[in-house]
Amino acid sequence: MIYFDHNASTPVRPEAVEAMTRALAELHANPSSLHRAGQRARAALERAREQVAGLVHCRPHEVVFVSGGTEGDHAGLIGAAWALEGRGRRLGVSAIEHHAVHGAAEVLARGGFAIEHLPVGPEGWVNPASLDVLPADTTVVAVMLANNETGVLQPVAGIAERAHARGLRLHCDAVQAAGKVPVDCERLGVDYLVISGHKLGGPKGVGALVVRGGAPCEALFRGSAHEGGRRGGTENLPGIVGLGAACAGAARELDAEQARLLALRERLESGLRAAFPDAVVHGAAAPRLPNTVNVSIPGARSDHMLMALDARGVEVSAGAACASGAVEPSPVLAAMGVPGALAVCALRLSLGRGSTADEVDAALGALVESARAARALAPELAAGPPR
Amino acid sequence: MREVYADHAATTAPAPEVVEAMRAHASRGRFGNASSVHRRGEAAREAVEEARGRLARLVGALPEEIVFTATGSEANNLALKGVLAAAPAGRTRIVISAIEHPSVIETARHLASRGVPLSVVPVGAEGILDPAAVAAALGPDVALVSVMWVNNEVGTIQPVAEVAALAHAAGARMHCDAIQAVGKLPVDAAGAEVDLLSVAGHKFHGPLGAAALCVRRRTRLVPLIHGGRQERSRRAGTEDLPAIAGLGVAAERAAARLAADAARLAGLGGRLAEGLLAAVPGARLNGDRARRVPGIANVCFAGVDGEAVLHELDLLGVTVSTGSACSAGSPGPSHVLRAMGLSAEDAHASVRFSLGGETSEDDVDYILEVTPAVVSRLRALDRPAMPGRASGVR
């Protein structure tokens, strides 16, 4: 089985499994409890907070543990919008955000907030100058660090500068970037930043929202004083220590892994170009994550490709996993202006820690066979010129 | 030194079979995203559905009525905010009891700060809500009534079915935080006719990080977390498969052991409470003696600081809490004990002992052996009850 769907979810790193197993076996108490067992749990929680802070370069007390990227995006964006409500009820959201951010914007829209969408160019990135046209009552802008479908890295530092010059706060979904490229909250200048455990070798069910420098943020879940009053609910300690261990491991291996994955990506892309001279790699000209290839093989519809590849032991995804089940072309590719006939052929291959050159070569072979089968299934696509 | 964990109301250790299920699902080869279409994603989806069926059976709900959340607090937040946002025009008020968990009280207060009218119904000295008091608070403007099944600090059982009938007669929806009841008492959402019911796995030997809101059919709810179609669009976010699978196993385990555990705990809890009252002069049991879950004994040791008792017992290997873990370290006496009419001083002097499935007769003997001496030693120091810190974690 060749797993090229690491942007959907990653295997849990051994050190994370070990940390979780230890927590499950030894740290049973509630970290809010005053007794020693509770304080031992608390100490493990704070150690994990430092490990997360180490990966994304923020202060430990700025880290708020949440149940994953989706909750983190809601807690950051909704929390900021409500906290800044006195100054306006409008936010700017890039057109290529993950469903989690669009979903949070939708919750706010139902609450009477206005949403402005920031466009992207054909290479899939947001131009910082697009912030200049946002109306004066805008309070928060959301731009992700790396797009989950194309891997295109957004110019977040430049966007933060423009945002702050206008008194706007910046929310950044770094779920796909963390662990794959360096993420430095201070250098990026973001106010809110989100990571997710299961995208970087940690467990599912845990993530972190970083609220920097006391940026205003109302709690999404009210309750007791957990997480400094920023998130009610008993902390998921095994998950949190797993996230901490995964962050520490990812930070340690970041440089080497980044270079290794980039070489694999280049091998995959040159193989694709050789096999399919008409293949289009989306966002190819932009800076991208080292592990992600979003490619359209004209005439080979992605749902047919997915099934054909799965039958050959290669697991990939069409667009984002969260959009699976939907047949419409990806909104991210649509925002980049990719024609519909090409967009319905988009495949996302995302490599990870266990991926090897042999797997890349084997996947290329499977892609060639699968494309032949897929093209036969949709002759109308193969015959018609891309619109 | 003997170690006796008597803080099961704060959290319980995951059962070995729960840990095993989590390990199996977390191990390599089973890390699919349940929303992915490939075969691994398919297997993950089946595991989520199996757990959903198991939890539904434990709480008397249909599988499709279970919405998995990360925590019980999230479930309570979702119930209040979600129902209110979906309520028909003219129904804007929330009615809660004075002894709800902070995740209900603080959510209701937050909504009140945004203009949502709130009625807080008092409880009697025994820590039990009087349905007549709820009836008096109801009216045609009420959207939701929220009353817990079992109070987390004193263990008293609330008249949930009666309150639900009253709420429905007034055209309101009924939410019940059953987090301290599930696994300890038979909980039947359909039988009690509640519309929404909150459950948290880690209170009955399931994992942290997996909880649920049961949203019964024909109950309208606006999601708090949107984007992605997980949980039938009622709660977005990639499912925490190992934790959800663990929750399913814990639910099945609890269902199988419920009757036997309850009978055993009734014996142990009764012996603990009676023993403490007999051995410690002036000790009083907080909350009704009969209508309570068997494993919780909240005892007022008048004249001492409950937190000092906690730390002294901790050094002797006995883990207890003051009030609840969720309010540990927060200033002010327990809102539950205050609502029951205890003075601030008596509230600060109260300690919660909560027993669980692995508590033995010897454990109870040990608590009864060491606690009276701790209290009399502290009383001998003649220190006044310390104001400031009180009340512990749920």
Side-chain half-sphere exposure of A18, counting CA atoms within 13 A: 6
The alpha carbon of B294 is separated from its chain's Cα centroid by a whole number of angstroms, namely 14
**Does one domain contain both B291 and B167?**
no
Side-chain half-sphere exposure of B224, counting CA atoms within 13 A: 26
Angstrom distance (rounded) from CA B270 to CA B289: 9
Q: How high is the pLDDT of residue B388? A: 45
Task: Confirm or reject contact between B38 and chain A (CB < 8 A).
Answer: yes
**What letter represents residue B150's amino acid?**
V
What total of structural domains would you count in chain A? 2
**Does one domain contain both A191 and A307?**
no
Residue B160 resides in a domain: yes
Are B301 and B375 within 8 A, CB to CB? yes
Q: Do B37 and A325 touch (CB under 8 A)?
A: yes
Q: How high is the pLDDT of residue B324? A: 61
- pLDDT, tens only, A127-184: 999 999 999 999 999 999 999 999 999 999 999 999 999 999 999 999 999 999 999 9
Q: Which residue does chain A place closest to B26, by CA atoms?
A: A12
Instruction: Measure B145 CA to nearest chain A CA, in Å.
Output: 18
Q: Do A324 and B36 touch (CB under 8 A)?
A: yes
Please say which residue of B196, B221, B254 terminates a domain.
B254
Instruction: Measure B14 CA to nearest chain A CA, in Å.
Output: 7
Of A12, A99, A100, the CB nearest to B26: A12
Rg (CA), chain B: 21
**Does one domain contain both B314 and B271?**
yes
Task: Confirm or reject contact between B14 and chain A (CB < 8 A).
Answer: yes
**Does one domain contain both A95 and A182?**
yes
Q: How high is the pLDDT of residue A20? A: 92
Angstrom distance (rounded) from CA B83 to CA B93: 11
Q: Where does residue B95 fall: left (phi above 0), alpha (psi -120 to 50 degrees), or beta otherwise?
A: beta
Of A203, A225, A315, the CB nearest to B330: A225
Residues of chain B positioned with their CB less than 8 A from the CB of A205? 70, 209-210, 240, 242-243
Residue B8 resides in a domain: no
For residue B93, give both structure tokens: 């008020």
**Does one domain contain both A234 and A264?**
no
Angstrom distance (rounded) from CA B372 to CA A154: 65
Q: How high is the pLDDT of residue A225? A: 77
Residue A92 resides in a domain: yes
Please say which residue of B211, B237, B254 terminates a domain.
B254
Interface test with A, best of B31, B69, B198, B221 (most A CBs within 10 A): B31
Could you give the ipTM of this predicted complex? 0.86
**Does one domain contain both A200 and A318?**
no
Angstrom distance (rounded) from CA A58 to CA A213: 9
Please say which residue of A222, A249, A276 terminates a domain.
A249
Residue B10 resides in a domain: no
Task: Confirm or reject contact between B232 and chain A (CB < 8 A).
Answer: no
For residue A371, give both structure tokens: 């494309």
- Specify which residues A183 forms β-bridges with: none
- Specify which residues A93 forms β-bridges with: A117, A142
Instruction: Measure A73 CA to nearest chain B CA, in Å.
Output: 9
Are B52 and B68 within 8 A, CB to CB? yes
**Does one domain contain both A89 and A200?**
yes
Which is nearest to B223 in space by CA: A99, A45, A242? A99
Instruction: Measure A182 CA to nearest chain B CA, in Å.
Output: 24
Residue B112, domain extent: 16-254
**Does one domain contain both B192 and B299?**
no
**Does one domain contain both A95 and A241?**
yes
Please say which residue of A221, A249, A277 terminates a domain.
A249
CATH of the domain at B348: 3.90.1150.10
**Does one domain contain both A217 and A97?**
yes
Of B36, B236, B243, the CB nearest to A321: B36
Q: Using CA of residue A145, residue A155, residue A251, residue A76, what is the dihedral sign? A: negative
**Does one domain contain both B249 and B276?**
no
**Does one domain contain both A217 and A273?**
no
Angstrom distance (rounded) from CA B128 to CA B130: 6
SS3 letters across chain A: CEECECCCCCCCCHHHHHHHHHHHHHCCCCCCCCCHHHHHHHHHHHHHHHHHHHHHCCCHHHEEEECCHHHHHHHHHHHHHHHCHHHCCEEEEECCCCHHHHHHHHHHHHCCCEEEEECECCCCCECHHHHHHCCCCEEEEECCCECCCCCEECCHHHHHHHHHHCCCEEEEECCCCECCECCCHHHHCCCEEEEEHHHCCCCCCCEEEEEHHHCCCCCCCCCCCHHHHCCCCCCCHHHHHHHHHHHHHHHHHHHHHHHHHHHHHHHHHHHHHHHCCCCEECCCCCCECCCEEEEECCCCCHHHHHHHHHHCCEECECCCHHHCCCCCCCHHHHHCCCCHHHHCCEEEEECCCCCCHHHHHHHHHHHHHHHHHHHHHCHHHHHCCCC
Residue A23 resides in a domain: yes
Q: Do B41 and A321 touch (CB under 8 A)?
A: yes
Residue B5 resides in a domain: no
**Does one domain contain both A292 and A228?**
no
CATH of the domain at B137: 3.40.640.10
Residue A50 resides in a domain: yes
**Does one domain contain both B96 and B219?**
yes
**Does one domain contain both B168 and B284?**
no
- pLDDT, tens only, A216-226: 999 999 988 78
Residue B11 resides in a domain: no
**Does one domain contain both B197 and B93?**
yes
Site of tokens 């663990």: B246
Q: Using CA of residue B314, residue B318, residue B320, residue B325, what is the dihedral sign? A: positive
CATH of the domain at A290: 3.90.1150.10
**Does one domain contain both A316 and A232?**
no
Q: How far is CA A260 from CA A266, A284, A314, A365, in A?
A: 10, 18, 20, 21
Can you give the pLDDT of all 394 residues of chain B as single tens digits?
A: 899 999 999 999 999 999 999 888 876 444 556 656 566 677 888 889 999 999 999 999 999 999 999 999 999 999 999 999 999 999 999 999 999 999 999 999 999 999 999 999 999 999 999 999 999 999 999 999 999 999 999 999 999 999 999 999 999 999 999 999 999 999 999 999 999 999 999 999 999 999 999 999 999 999 888 877 788 888 888 888 889 999 999 999 999 999 999 999 999 999 999 999 999 999 999 999 999 998 999 999 999 999 999 999 999 999 999 876 555 556 678 999 999 999 999 999 999 999 998 999 999 999 999 999 999 999 998 655 555 444 444 5
**Does one domain contain both A69 and A166?**
yes
Q: How high is the pLDDT of residue A229? A: 84
Residue B1 resides in a domain: no
Residue A383 resides in a domain: no
Q: How high is the pLDDT of residue B35? A: 59
What total of structural domains would you count in chain B? 2
Q: How high is the pLDDT of residue B389? A: 45
User: Roughly what angle, to the nearest 10 degrees, separates helices A302-311 and A357-377?
Assistant: 130
Are A224 and A232 within 8 A, CB to CB? yes
**Does one domain contain both B223 and B315?**
no
Residue A349, domain extent: 2-7+254-378
Angstrom distance (rounded) from CA B158 to CA B150: 6
Residues of chain A positioned with their CB less than 8 A from the CB of B40? 3, 315
Q: Do A234 and B208 touch (CB under 8 A)?
A: yes
Q: Which residue does chain A place closest to B79, by CA atoms?
A: A221
Which residue numbers in chain A have pLDDT < 70? 319-327, 382-387
Q: Do B237 and A223 touch (CB under 8 A)?
A: no
Of B11, B106, B311, the CB nearest to A223: B106
Of A38, A102, A324, the CB nearest to B37: A324
Instruction: Measure A174 CA to nearest chain B CA, in Å.
Output: 15
Q: Which of B176, B214, B300, B326 is catalytic?
A: B326
Please say which residue of A232, A249, A266 terminates a domain.
A249
Residue B310 resides in a domain: yes
Residues of A identified as active-site: 322
Q: How high is the pLDDT of residue B36? A: 62
Site of tokens 């907070």: A49
**What letter represents residue A197's amino acid?**
G
Interface test with B, best of A24, A227, A234 (most B CBs within 10 A): A234
**Does one domain contain both A27 and A160?**
yes
CATH of the domain at A103: 3.40.640.10
Of A30, A104, A205, the CB nearest to B209: A205
Are A73 and A84 within 8 A, CB to CB? no
Q: Do A232 and B106 touch (CB under 8 A)?
A: yes
- pLDDT, tens only, A342-379: 999 999 999 999 999 999 999 999 999 999 999 988 77
**Does one domain contain both B54 and B98?**
yes
**Does one domain contain both B113 and B157?**
yes
